[in-house]
Structure 1
C-alpha cells in the first residue's frame, strides 16, 4: 500500500516505460514508411479507431472497477480480522479463569500467542505466488521491487512461528498443508479441554467457538480472493482490445494529419508520433493499473498491508496481556507498507 499523496513521476514513469517504448515503436514505424516510402495506404479513417477506442475504454473501466472491488473487499476482510482479533484477545483475558493466577496468565498467553501464529501462517499463505499473479512475472513489477521488500519472502515461516508455538505443536503445524486452518483447529481443541476442566464456563466457551468460526470465515474470504483470479476472459479481452487500439492509433493519426499537409507542411505528419505515444500510453497504463490491483495479496506495491496489520494486532494483544517489551510497528519503505 502506497501511503504518499501520489506516486512520484520518477517512480511512475520508469514503471510504465515499456508502454512508452511500445507506443514509440508502433508510431515511429508507420510514420517513417508513410513519409519516406510513400505508403499512403497506411492512413486510415479515424472513425474505426474511435469506435474501437470507445469499446476499449468501456472494458478498461469495467476491469479497473472490478479489480478495485477485489482490493477493497480484501481490505474490509482484514478490517474484520482486526476487530475479531481484539475481541478474541479480550475474551481470552476475561474468560479463561482458574484458581491459580499464574496459571491463568500462562494459559492466556498460550492462547493469544497461538492467535499470533494464525495471523503469521495466514499472511505467509496469502503471499505465496500463483501462476496468474504478476509481481514476479512482469519485468516492470520486478524492477519496482527495488523500492521495497516483501517480509514473507525475506524470512521462513518456521522461524516466524517459533516464538508463538511449542516445539511439538510447531512440528505438527509445519507438517500440514493449510497451516492457518490447523492452528485454529488446535486453538479450538485447547478451548474444549479448558471447558471440560472448568477453566472456561459453558456460555463463554460457546462465545469462544463463535469467535473461532468468525476467524475461519475471514480466512475463507481471503482464500477466495487469493485462489480465484480476476476472470481470464475479461482480462484477455481487455489486453487484446488495448493492443489492437494501440496498433491502430498511429494509422488513424496519419490519416487525420495527412489531410493538413498542404496547409501546414510535410513536418505536420511527424506529430503522429508524440500524439500516438500520449494516447496509447494512457490506455496501456489503464490496463497496467488494473492488472496491478487485481491480486491484493501477491506482494505488489499496491497490496493490502497484511504484514503491518498483523503487527498492529500483535501489539494490541500483547498490551492486553500486560507486556511492555513490544515489537516495533512496521515502517514504510519508500512510502510503501506491506
Structure 2
C-alpha cells in the first residue's frame, strides 16, 4: 500500500505512458486524414462527442466508486482480523490450562494468518498485477508471499507433521481453524478450560471464519465483467472519436489568430485531445488497480505488514522473548 502523501505526476505519467503514446497517435491520425488527404467529411459534430463523454463520465465514476468500496471492505476485513487477534491474545494470556496451551493456540492462529495471506495473494486470471505497467512499478515494493514458499513460513508456527498434513488440504485456512476447534474441544473435555473459556474461544474461531469468508468473496469474485467490458468500450470509443469531434472547432480559431499559428491551429487537436482522453484512461487504470485489493499491487491492503504486527503483539502478550522478524523495510513509501 502506498503510504506517502500522494503519487507524483511523473509517476502517473510513467505508469500510463503507453496509453499516452496511443493517444498521441489517435490525435495525429484525424489531422493527417483531414488536412493532407482532404477527407473533410470525417469531422464529427462536437455535440455527439460531448454526449458520449458525459455517458463515459458516469460509467467511469460508477466503476471507481464500486472498486473503492471493494478496497474499503478489504481494509475493514483486516481491521476486524487485527481486533479479533488481539482478543485471542488477551484470553490466551490468562489461560487456565497454563501458558503452553495458550501458546499452541496463538501459534496456530499465526499459521492461519500466514495461510490466509498466501491464499489471498494467489493470482487470478482477471487480476491486473501482471500488466506491464504494474510489473515495472514493482521495483518500488516487495510482495513477501511471492518470495518464500508457504511451507517455509509455516515451519515457524507448526510441527512438521501438522504441516505435512496441512499441505494436502484443499483449504489450508479452513483446516487450521478446524484443528483449532478440535484443540479447544479437547481442552474442555480434559477440564483444562472452563465452559466460559470454551465459548469465548469458539466465538473467536467463528469470527475468524466470517472474516475469512469476506476476504475470499472479494478475492474469488471479481468486479462484474459486464460492467468492466462496457467501461473499457465507452472509454476507448470516446478517446478515438474525440479528435474527430474537435477538428473543426480548432480550425475555426484560424480566423482569430495571426502569425505562425495562423492556419496551423488544427495541430492543437493533438495535445488537447491527448490530455482530455488521458484523464479518462487514467481514471480507468486507477479503477483497475483498485478493484482487486489482494492481487499484489502497490494499492493493496498491506496484509503481510498487518500479520507481522499481529504476531509481534501476540507474542508480547505471551511474554515471548525470542525475536520476531520485522516486516520488510519499505522501498520508498510503498509497503
Q: Fold match, TM over 0.5?
A: yes
Give unpaired runs (5+ residues) of structure 2.
none
Alignment-derived partner of residue 209 in structure 1 = 202
Whole-angstrom CA distance in 1 between matches of 2:25 and 2:247: 15
Whole-angstrom CA distance in 1 between matches of 2:62 and 2:152: 42
Task: Work out whether 1:47 is the aligned partner of 2:44.
Answer: no
TM-score w.r.t. structure 1 length?
A: 0.95
Task: Work out whether 1:185 is the aligned partner of 2:178.
Answer: yes
Whole-angstrom CA distance in 1 between matches of 2:20 and 2:109: 47
Alignment-derived partner of residue 328 in structure 1 = 326
Q: Deviations over 1:237-284 (max 9, x none)?
A: 110000000001101111211223333321100000000010000000
1:162·1:170 contact (CA, 8 Å) conserved in 2?
yes
Whole-angstrom CA distance in 2 between matches of 1:322 and 1:260: 76
1:311·1:330 contact (CA, 8 Å) conserved in 2?
no
Whole-angstrom CA distance in 2 between matches of 1:304 and 1:326: 22
2:84·2:204 contact (CA, 8 Å) conserved in 1?
yes
Alignment-derived partner of residue 120 in structure 1 = 114
Q: Give the CA deviation at 1:90.
A: 1.0
Alignment-derived partner of residue 22 in structure 2 = 22
- Number of residues paired by the alignment? 330
Q: Give the CA deviation at 1:328.
A: 1.8
Alignment-derived partner of residue 9 in structure 2 = 9
Alignment-derived partner of residue 267 in structure 1 = 264
Q: Deviations over 1:121-168 (max 9, x none)?
A: 0000000000110111x2111111122221101110000000100111
2:304·2:327 contact (CA, 8 Å) conserved in 1?
no
1:45·1:256 contact (CA, 8 Å) conserved in 2?
no
1:275 counterpart SS class: helix
Whole-angstrom CA distance in 2 between matches of 1:168 and 1:244: 58
Alignment-derived partner of residue 220 in structure 1 = 213
Between 315-324 and 58-67, report the one with greater CA deviation: 315-324
TM-score w.r.t. structure 2 length?
A: 0.96
Whole-angstrom CA distance in 1 between matches of 2:325 and 2:141: 20
Whole-angstrom CA distance in 2 between matches of 1:123 and 1:117: 10
2:56·2:235 contact (CA, 8 Å) conserved in 1?
yes
Give unpaired runs (5+ residues) of structure 1.
99-103
2:34·2:40 contact (CA, 8 Å) conserved in 1?
yes
Q: Deviations over 1:78-137 (max 9, x none)?
A: 00000000001111121x323xxxxx222222110111100000000000000110111x
Q: Deviations over 1:175-228 (max 9, x none)?
A: 101111110111111111011111110121011101100000000000000001
Alignment-derived partner of residue 101 in structure 2 = 107
